[in-house]
Amino acid sequence: MRRDATFIAVEIDDALAADAELARRLTEACPVDIFAQADDGSLQIVEQNLDECVLCRLCLDASPPGALRIVKLYDDGAVLA
């Protein structure tokens, strides 16, 4: 799954997006509500909040290594590490 806004895109493997525990962790971690949990527990990316990303990396810390990519569209697609 990938969602793009003007400055930020978020990309996550579809299988991991279906993981309710990971969805819960991401929803709790992000200070600007970029992640939410659907009724079935799966991850949702809240497109209208994407450009509020403060590059805090809390979502990366809450995810398995390499599972999630925060793409800085304003910086030639550089990935937040």
Site track 18-47 with ligand SF4 (rule: CB under 6 A), x = hit: -----------xxxx-x-------------
**Residue 70 and residue 79 in contact, taking contact as beta carbons nearer than 8 Å:** yes
Could you say whether residue 78 binds ligand SF4 (CB under 6 A)?
no
Q: Identify the H or E element spanning 22.
A: helix 20-29
The residue to which tokens 């304003």 are assigned: 74
Could you say whether residue 57 binds ligand SF4 (CB under 6 A)?
yes
Chain residues that interact with ligand SF4, rule: CB under 6 A: 29-32, 34, 53-59, 70
